[in-house]
Amino acid sequence: MKYIILVGDGMADYPLADLGDKTPLEAANTPNMDRLASRRIGLVKSIPDGMEPGSDVANLSLLGYDPLCYHRGRAPLEAASMGVGLEGGQIAFRMNLVTLDRRSGGEIIMV
């Protein structure tokens, strides 16, 4: 049996002024996804109860790994994707670089 897995990771995003304060998903023309959703084809719960919803957890689950057993954070997955193998006792760390911006109201936000 063949499967197609559609992963909508990040599709919802945040509302954008350029899109009339809609998210990219709300503004998109999605007739094929709408048809699949209306037929309830392939609905799956990929985030176990009690786990933080993130693409690392969801992708482990979609690939058949139980995140409750195998999830060790995003860093080991990103290391593996770059060909960095971890041996026993080694730890991978990751970070996001951000820019801070002071807006006209004086508040500081991440951009």
Mean pLDDT, residues 86-109:
87
pTM reported for the whole predicted model: 0.60
Q: Domains of the chain: which residue ranges?
A: 44-110
Mean pLDDT, residues 71-87:
92
By CB atoms closer than 10 A (0-12, 13-18, 19+), residue 27 is: middle
- Return d(Cα 42, Cα 20) in angstroms, integer: 31
Mean pLDDT, residues 95-100:
90
pLDDT of residue 42: 66
Higher pLDDT, 6 or 16: 16
By CB atoms closer than 10 A (0-12, 13-18, 19+), residue 4 is: exposed
Q: What are 59's two structure tokens? A: 């992708």
Write out pLDDT tens, residues 12-36. 788 999 999 999 899 999 999 888 8
pLDDT of residue 91: 93
Give the rounded distance of the alpha carbon of 8 from its chain centre.
8
- Residue 48 — very low, low, confident or very high, per pLDDT cuts 50/70/90? very high
